[in-house]
Homo-oligomer: A and B are copies of this chain.
Amino acid sequence: MQVEVPEYTVAEDVAVDPSRTALIIVDMQNDFVQAEGALPIEDAAATIGSIRRLRTFARDQGMSIFYTQDSHYAGDPEFDLWGEHCTVGTPGWQVVEDLAPDEATGDLIFRKDRYDGFFGTNLETTLRQREIDTLIICGTVANICVLYTAASAAIRWYHVILPIDAVSAINEFDLQLTIRQVGWLFRGTITRSEALRASDE
């Protein structure tokens, strides 16, 4: 069955206040990104370049850079749904080398055991302490961990920016539904990684 996708706009110029904006890189771990990973997302590797562009922009502007890291232990009930993946301490659990967090520079990693980066983490507390009100969210999987992190952000009144070249899904429908929910329901900004700039530049 085919269905018509509601129209949306891709913003060509997006200015953010670096002191109130964070970049969140969702689940870019070997198990999702590498072809030999436990749950490979075919299009994820192709987003690394765009995510690196976002990270360089964030680093240059002194923005907060946060990673979510899907993190499970033996016996996790998610293994019944998806098979074993992202087991703490395994290579598949590590963020891909090209995007490795730099904790010395202040990058923070939020381990989570469900789709939503706010669920069972101190992400919200951290955002409030830093007086951040805008989140650039990228990574994988679009309609899973990216979308539910964006949903929890939007319900708490954070503004969400979704650079679609930095997000990967397992099919076109899932990518389009993510755009629909973020762009229409959450009133987020749909854009591309090269469109971002600092508001004071």
A residues with a Cβ closer than 8 A to B are: 1-6, 73-77, 81, 106, 108, 112-116, 119-126, 128-129, 143-144, 148, 151, 155, 157, 171-174, 176-177, 180-181, 185, 187
SS class, residues of chain A in contact with chain B: mixed
Q: Contacts A120-B122, A120-B125, A185-B144 given: A155-B5 contact, CB under 8 Å?
A: no
Q: A81's contact among B75, B81, B125, B187, by CB below 8 Å, is which? A: B187
Q: Are B112 and A120 in contact (CB under 8 A)?
A: no
Q: Are B128 and A157 in contact (CB under 8 A)?
A: yes
Q: A6's contact among B106, B115, B121, B171, by CB below 8 Å, is which? A: B171
A108, B73: Cα distance in complex, Å: 10
